[in-house]
C-alpha cells in the first residue's frame, strides 16, 4: 500500500499550525512589547508580578523561535516521502518553500533579537520600580 499521500497530508496538517504559531506569535509579541507596554510605564504600579510575566514572555519567545526554526526542516523532511518519480513535479514548490522559510526565519530571528533587547530594558525598569 502506498502511504505517500497520507504522509504528505499529515505533514501539512502538523506543520501548518506550528508555522502559524511560530511565525505569528513573535511579531505580535514584538508589537505589544515595543508599542503597547511602554505606554503603561508612566502610570506606575509595576511590581514583582510584572517582572515574573516578562521573564515568562522571554522564555515563551525562545520557544516560538525554536518552532520557527523547525518549520523549514519539517517541510523538507516531509518532502523526502515524495516518490522520486514525482519529484520533478514539485521541485519548484520545494525550492520556494525552502527559500521562503529561510527568509522568513531571518526576519523572525531579527524580531526575536530586538524583542530580547526590549524585554531586557523593561525588566531593568520593572526591577527599579
Best CA proximity match to 30, nearest among 91, 111, 102, 113: 111
How is residue 32 annotated by DSSP? Answer: I
- The torsion angle over the Cα atoms of residues 27, 33, 35 and 38, rounded to 10 degrees, is 180
Task: Give the whole-angstrom CA distance, residue 72 versus residue 33.
Answer: 27
Map out the domains of the chain as residue ranges: 4-128
Q: In the prediction, which pLDDT does 117 show?
A: 93
Is residue 33 a contact partner of residue 115, using CB atoms and an 8 Å limit?
A: yes
User: Model confidence over 28-83: pLDDT tens digits?
Assistant: 888 888 888 888 777 776 777 888 888 898 888 888 888 878 877 877 787 787 88
pLDDT higher than threshold 70 for residue 8: no
Query: Looking at residue 1, what is its pLDDT?
Result: 46
pTM as predicted: 0.71
Amino acid at each position: 500500500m502506498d502511504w505517500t499521500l497520507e504522509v504528505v497530508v499529515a505533514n501539512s496538517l502538523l506543520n501548518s499550525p506550528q508555522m502559524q504559531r511560530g511565525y505569528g506569535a513573535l511579531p505580535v509579541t514584538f508589537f505589544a512589547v515595543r508599542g503597547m507596554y511602554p505606554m503603561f510605564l508612566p502610570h506606575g504600579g509595576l511590581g514583582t508580578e510584572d517582572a515574573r510575566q516578562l521573564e515568562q514572555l522571554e522564555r515563551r519567545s525562545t520557544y516560538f523561535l525554536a518552532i520557527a526554526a523547525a518549520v523549514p526542516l519539517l517541510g523538507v523532511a516531509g518532502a523526502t516521502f515524495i516518490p522520486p518519480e514525482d519529484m520533478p513535479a514539485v521541485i519548484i514548490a520545494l525550492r520556494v518553500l525552502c527559500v521562503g522559510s529561510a527568509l522568513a526565519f531571518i526576519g523572525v530571528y531579527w524580531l526575536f533579537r530586538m524583542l530580547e533587547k526590549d524585554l531586557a530594558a523593561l525588566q531593568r525598569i520593572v526591577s527599579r520600580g
